[in-house]
Structure 1
Amino acid sequence: MTSPTAQESTRLIPVARGNLPALGHAYHLWRHTLEFLDSLRAYGGVVRINIGTLPMYMVTDPELTRRVLTSESRHFETGGRMGDNLALIFGSGVGTINGDGHRRQRRILQPLFNRSYIAAHTDVMRDAVRGRVSGWREGIPFEAAAEMDRVMVAAFLTTLFGPTLPAPREEEFYRLLRTLMKGVMRKTVAPSWANRVMVTANREFDRALARLRQIIGDLIREGRQSPEAAGGVFRAMLAARDPDTGAGMTDAQIADEAVTMLGTTGEAPGTALAWALHEISRNPDIQRRVRSEVDTVCGGRPPGPADLAALEYTRCVLTEVMRHHGPGYLFTRWTTAPVDLGGYLIPAHANVAYSQYIVHHDPAVFPDPQRFDPDRWLPDAPTVSRSSYLPFGLGSRQCLGENFSWTAMLLTVAEIAARWDLHPHRSRPVKPVASTTVRPHHLTITPRARTTGPGAA
């Protein structure tokens, strides 16, 4: 048990209002997600909510959230309701295991996700993105969230398995992942009794998981039999060795890591890109600045790693998208012992949650948090608290796929800006809906071919 500092004293953990019989706060968390999360900040640094009758301790203070992820992380293992449900999909992948197993897997996988390795795969990733973006039709609107999910799934599948994966298999991966990730959030926020009666939804989840595991297992067997035919990061995973022991990964470990990578690097960056298209399409000045930067940096040629590093303003737009719009909003941990967190006494074996949305919309950290302002991230702008910016987490469990996600998102925006002017299909406000990520509901974008500039048709 950790001890409070001299400035901290034991605080009673309040219970949020709106606790309903049998449901607890699950109804508010599911139906009014962002409004409910915003309301929790008023209770103090930690507030208790109930999922059914199960207590969950929500950390709302940015500094306490940082402690959970960094200096106090030894007391907060991966797990809790969301972590346990993710483990149904990811198995014992690096995102769900703890202790020595986590450290070992991270040591093996880390080289496959550093900047230089991802840079070496930029060309195949870019070609996958271009294959989707160049297929848009002039003046024909598309649903942004679904399309950006497909772009990211295509980019990552190409990076993971190489460019020869058949298109029908790519579409099947997309559908399976959507079913599974939606199921995870449903299982997380619904009371246990409600999950038990959702028979049809649970069967769909189980079928999708079995099919995804079957596909991955087949690919692993094919890769073991013909290593020269395996492509991308997958080939490197088959050959990867623990730098300390020289041991490789078993087929089960490779399957868990492949599914983990697919689940964590598809929907979140896809959702962020959908929101980016929303902001770019409805803000002519932002669109002009992004387009001008892409034209200046790339000059009409395919963007490479050096070009992506030079897209300063475009990166600011994406940085602000991930602050303002999420995409993540709820993550859970499991306490290994009683913990004193800033004077709040949290019991052992408790579900502890933190929210990127709560931290990123705290006015004490990000002034005027409801305003979308990419300029707040420019180098010469007033300093913002980067220690409270956590779209990829913090500490020893920071997302391994961060470099991939940045590369894929910057490539996608650059490819779109070089070819298309974007316009909102409808003028009505876009509603954010919390699923696995905070997704824009019925966001449709109309692309118009550019008539000027290096990328003009």
Structure 2
Amino acid sequence: MPTTPAVSHLPPTARGRLPVIGHALQFVRGPLNVLQDLRGQGDIVTLQVGRLPIHVVNSPQLLHRVLVTDAGSYTKGRMYDKTRPVVGNGIATSEGAFHHRQRRLIMPAFHRPRLRGYSEAMREQAEAAIASWLPGQRIAVDRAMHTMSVGTTVRTLFGTGIDNRTIAEIDSCVGVFLKQVIVRTMTPNLVESLPLPGTRKFEAARKRLKAIVDTILDERLRATQERDDLLSLLIAARDEESGEPLSRQQLHDEVVTMIVAGADSTAYTLSWLLYELGRNPAVDARLHHELDTVLNGRPVTFDDLPRLAYTQRLIQETLRLHSVSWIQMRRTITPVTLGDARLPAGAEILFSATTMHRDPGLYPHPLRFDPDRWLSPHQREAFQPFSAGPRKCPGDHFSLTQLAIDIATIAARWRLVPAGRRRVREVPAAVLRPDHLPMVVRARS
């Protein structure tokens, strides 16, 4: 008669632990290398960051249990604690019944009929962003895409009444914040109370972003004119059970969450996509052929997107190889059994979509950029660009729509080729971004 495997109390500790600091120094120096190495050490392995144990889940099946099957046994965890001072209690950081209510109120703003309307603003913003490009011009693609993405997020949220100076200020605030999130997650809480330069910049950016959003909210809540933007939908939303609207504080937190969560992830996914097109001329040629065939020289529309099959595979492959949400965390609410491990309440859990997406056991030749790998079925649990379960990103279809509209708009007019031979390095900050991405603009022939 088969026996049930014994369940140990804690997962094994990762190799290379140092006295006092544990794995903290290794992680700060090269977090992706550390997490990639852990994939060969077990389905769940413990990193010791100072005195804090963090349990890294490598198995797609165990991760599915954390995110989907047993999602009610976990809260968002330490990284989101460090995010909350900026985004408040928005949908990304809220928990329990409050989170479920927020999700019910917000999700209609991301349904398909609304995406059709947003797609026009997305295309217009992309067209404006590339209108000043010139053949032979060298541009910093990562910065250009970030500016464009912030502009798109702000415009779909607030409409056309926000000036470029305010958009630039929002862009700057988000940049400061996202540089600090991972540092705060992996350092003791005491560090945040010290008057360090990074702490002062973080607090100044938080206050400035709050002031900008408060000013816009005050104006919109006083206005009587109906508008067709995302903020108007949030203001008009009513709870189907109680009939209550979002409070002013909830509106503030959701708006800041959308600005912070949306702009960077889309901007850097688009940057990596353009990087891969520049490195892979055959892929670039197939994209241009599809755009020429489907669009025939006209601007892309929302209804074109289902017919852009290769473009969609190109986006999927970019989300796999360059998953910008490279690290996420959860915290156990009660003791849980996960694989062969028994974790106590309050245990910190970490998982990395990026390293999972680069596992050769899940994706053959994982470092090869191959959009056609998506012609074959894949294990759903092994592809998590937007997380999964009840905490899955509510803006996933918004992001996919924006990526498709943006790349179709850019590639219909321009080709971008690498400038120079310096290797582009991945920077694992709050999102996985390129350290620099200079490219040269070439006109489509």
Q: TM-score scaled to structure 2, two decimals?
A: 0.96
The reply on whether 1:266 has 2:260 as its aligned counterpart is: no
SS of alignment partner, residue 171 of structure 1: helix
The residue matched to 1:43 in structure 2 has which SS? coil
- Equivalent position to 2:372, from 366, 375, 388: 375
- On the 8 A contact 1:52/1:192 being kept in 2, the answer is no
The Cα of 1:195 is off from its aligned counterpart by: 4.3
- Match for residue 32 of structure 1? 30
Separation in 1 of the partners of 2:201 and 2:365? 42
- Is it true that 1:214 corresponds to 2:208 in the alignment? no
> How far apart in 2 are the matches of 1:374 and 1:335?
37
Correspondence for 1:67:
65
The equivalent position to 1:403 in structure 2, one of 397, 414, 418, is: 397
Maintained 8 Å contact 1:25/1:51: yes
Letter in 1 for 2:332: T
Give the 3 Å change call, closer, same or farther, for CA 158–391 of structure 1 in structure 2: same
Question: Structure 1's 193 and 52: CA in aligned 2 closer, same or farther, altered over 3 A?
Answer: farther
Q: Is the 8 A contact 2:278 2:284 kept in 1?
A: yes
1:236 lines up with 2:230 in the alignment:
no
Residue identity in the other structure for 1:48: T
Cross-structure match for 1:54: 52
- Aligned-partner Cα distance in 1 for 2:426–2:364: 21
Instruction: Tell me, yes or no, if structure 1 residue 417 matches structure 2 residue 420.
Output: no
Deviation per CA, 1:53-91: give whole Å up to 9, x if none: 11111111111111110001111111x220101112111
Residues 11 and 340 in structure 2, CA contact (< 8 A), matched pair in contact too: no
The answer to whether residue 169 in structure 2 is matched with residue 175 in structure 1 is: no
CA deviations over 1:13-40 (Å, ceiling 9, x no partner): 1111232344332222222121111011
Distance 2:409 2:144 in 1: 14
SS for the counterpart of 2:225 is helix
Tell me which residue corresponds to 1:224.
Answer: 221
Q: 1:294 to 1:337 in 2, by over 3 A?
A: same
Are residue 442 (structure 1) and residue 442 (structure 2) matched? no
Alignment correspondent of 1:351: 348
* Deviation of the 1:428 alpha carbon: 3.1
Task: Give the direction of change, closer, same or farther, for the CA distance of 1:193–1:43 in structure 2 (3 Å limit).
Answer: farther
Matched with 1:426 is 420
Task: Kindly provide the amino acid, as one letter, of the partner of residue 31 in structure 1.
Answer: R
Q: What letter corresponds to residue 275 of structure 2 in structure 1?
A: H
Query: In 1, Cα distance between the equivalents of 2:434 and 2:246?
Result: 38
Q: Which residue of 1 aligns with 2:15?
A: 17
**Amino acid aligned to 1:159:** T
Contact 1:76 1:335 in 2 (8 A): yes
Match of 1:248 among 245, 248, 264: 245
Return the offset for 1:238. 1.1
Report what 1:341 is aligned to.
Answer: 338
Residue in structure 2 matched with residue 289 of structure 1 by the alignment? 286
Distance 2:3 2:306 in 1: 44
The whole-number CA distance in structure 1 between the counterparts of 2:161 and 2:423 is 40
Displacement of 1:358 after TM fit?
A: 2.4
Partner of 2:141: 144
The range that moved more, 224-233 or 385-394, is 224-233
2:330 and 2:349 in contact (8 A); partners too: yes
State which of 91, 97, 103 in structure 1 corresponds to 2:100.
103
Please say which of residues 285-294 and 6-15 is displaced more in the overlay.
6-15
Render the CA deviation track for 1:290-323: whole Å, top value 9, x for unaligned: 1111111111111111112211111111111111
| Alignment correspondent of 1:164 | 161
* Contact 2:238–2:244 under 8 Å retained in 1: yes
> Given the superposition, is the C-alpha separation of residues 188 and 88 from structure 1 closer, same or farther in structure 2, using an over 3 Å criterion?
same
CA-CA distance at 1:190 after TM superposition: 2.6
The equivalences for 1:315-326 within 5 A come to 315-326=312-323
The change in CA–CA distance for 1:258 and 1:426 in structure 2 (over 3 A counts) is same
Q: Which residue of 2 aligns with 1:454?
A: none
Is the contact made by 2:141 and 2:437 (CA closer than 8 Å) also made in structure 1? Answer: yes
Aligned to 1:455: none
Q: Aligned-pair distance for 1:132? A: 0.6
Say whether the 8 Å CA contact 1:223–1:229 is kept in structure 2.
no
2:441 & 2:225 partners in 1: Cα distance? 40
Change (3 A) 1:6 1:326: farther
CA distance in 2, matches of 1:38, 1:435: 16
* Structure 1: distance between partners of 2:387 and 2:381: 10
SS class of match (1:266): helix
Distance 1:426 1:6 in 2: 61
User: Structure 1 stretch 252-261 or stretch 158-167: which is displaced more?
Assistant: 158-167
Aligned mates of 1:144, 1:274 — CA distance in 2 = 6
Alpha-carbon contact 1:161-1:232 (below 8 Å) kept: yes
Cα 1:353–1:191, aligned 2, differ >3 Å: closer, same or farther?
A: same
Query: Percent of pairs identical after alignment?
Result: 34
Q: Give the drift of 1:429.
A: 2.4
Q: In 1, distance between residues paired with 2:27 and 2:315?
A: 27
Distance verdict in 2 for CA 1:240–1:372, change over 3 Å = same
CA shift at 1:50, angstroms?
A: 2.0
Deviations 1:353-411 (A, max 9, x none): 11111221222221221221111012xx3x22123211001011110111110111111
The separation in 1 between residues aligned to 2:311 and 2:276, in whole angstroms, is 12
Alpha carbons of structure 1 residues 61 and 7: separation in structure 2 relative to 1, 3 Å: farther
Match of 2:150 in 1: 153
Q: Which range moves more in the overlay, 241-250 or 103-112?
A: 241-250
Please tell me whether the aligned partners of residues 415 and 443 of structure 2 are also in contact (alpha carbons under 8 angstroms). yes
Measured after TM superposition, the shift of residue 115 of structure 1 is 1.9
Displacement of 1:9? 3.3
Rounded Cα–Cα distance in structure 2 between residues aligned with 1:101 and 1:240: 15
The code of the aligned residue for 2:96 comes to G
Q: CA deviation at 1:102?
A: 0.5
Moved over 6 A (4+): none
Unpaired runs of 5+ residues, structure 1, are: 452-457
Instruction: Kindly provide the amino acid, as one letter, of the partner of residue 45 in structure 2.
Output: V
Count, aligned residues = 443
Q: RMSD across aligned C-alpha pairs, in angstroms?
A: 1.6
State the SS of the aligned residue for 2:401: helix
2 CA distance for matches of 1:39 and 1:193?
A: 30
Deviates more, 1:392-401 or 1:225-234: 225-234
